[in-house]
Amino acid sequence: MGISCEKCNKLRNGVKYSKVLELPEILCIHLKRFRHELMFSSKISSYVSFPLEGLDMRPYLHKDCTSEVTTYNLSSVICHHGTAGGGHYTCYSLNCKSDQWFEFDDQYVTEVSPEVVQNCEAYVLFYKKSSEEVNRLRLRTVELMELSKNEPGLMEFYISKQWINRFNTFAEPGPIDNSDFLCAHGGVHPLKAPYVRDLCTPFSQSVWEYLYETFGGGPACNRLYECSICRSEQEELQCRIETELEEYLQLKKDFQAEESPTLIYAIAMSWFRQWQSFVKGKEPEPPGAIDNSSIITTKNGQQVLKIG
């Protein structure tokens, strides 16, 4: 097929293909079970074989793909029973703790064998990354946690619960990220201070050092304190909110009292709603400069309100 080359700007013969740049933790494969023609639709009931374990994605990766774990194991399957005009959905799902498959059919849950799953008419396949290395890291972390119980008084470090959840479930959790409970200054934002312990978990120094050496990231946090800089900024922001809201309400009252205003200004509703969310505390940041681009058009070299 003729393809325009971005290097020589000419049409050249080429082959169109797709490659994966980044592998997700959960790989969703949607099989084409329905054929839609101009006048009718039909279901494709052809058998499709799929592995329960060891799906290797390396043949489909782009050379710039940074994912290190490329092997997947099946975790769930959605099946469609019926025709293109109507039908019923069921699901098979693997209990990762017992390594047992179950069928979910509305309110009925039934234990099934792997062979039943492998021979089903799959519609959507869900594969989960598999890594023996991360399992080893988890076991070592548990060992260090047990050892640290016998060493009271050691310094504690706090790690984001969100990241710990990634570590417990992802094959590639990525670097430690404590930004969900720490501000840019290394402290706790005043708005998060009342519930900060719901956002992080304390670990011993040995566990922190092991995880940090393995995954990197951070920042390190061995003390939870409210950030004075963020507190000052928050107080200034609150003062601004109160001032703007008070002035707006007064101006609105004055405007409504005028019987025939000589001059009326328009503000885009989209920007006004952003400002409204800000003064009501629904948005943490102010909306920025007024943007009327959505309600203004240029006519004869002049900017005028759009009609309609």
pLDDT digits (tens, 9 = 90+) for 116-128: 999 999 999 999 9
Rg (CA), the chain: 29
- pLDDT at site 10: 85
**pLDDT tens by residue, 87-139:** 899 999 999 889 999 999 999 999 999 999 999 999 999 999 999 999 999 99
- pLDDT at site 55: 96
Per-residue DSSP letters for 17-56? Answer: ---BSS--SEEEEE---EEE-SS-EEE--------SS-EE
Per this entry, what is the length of the chain? Answer: 308
pTM of the predicted protein model = 0.75
**Overall fold of domain 12-130:** Cathepsin B; Chain A (3.90.70)
Every domain of the chain and the residues it spans: 12-130, 133-218, 265-308
Q: How many helices (H) and strands (E) does the chain have?
A: 6, 17
Q: Cα 105 vs. chain centroid, distance in angstroms?
A: 29
- Give, in words, the CATH class of 133-218: alpha beta
pLDDT < 70 positions in the chain: 1, 152-153, 308
Q: Cα 129 vs. chain centroid, distance in angstroms?
A: 17
d(CA 122, CA 50): 9
- pLDDT at site 1: 60
* Pairing outcome for strands 176-177 and 217-218: parallel
Which secondary-structure segment (H or E) carries 166? Answer: helix 161-169
d(CA 129, CA 267): 50
- pLDDT at site 86: 85
d(CA 139, CA 197): 25
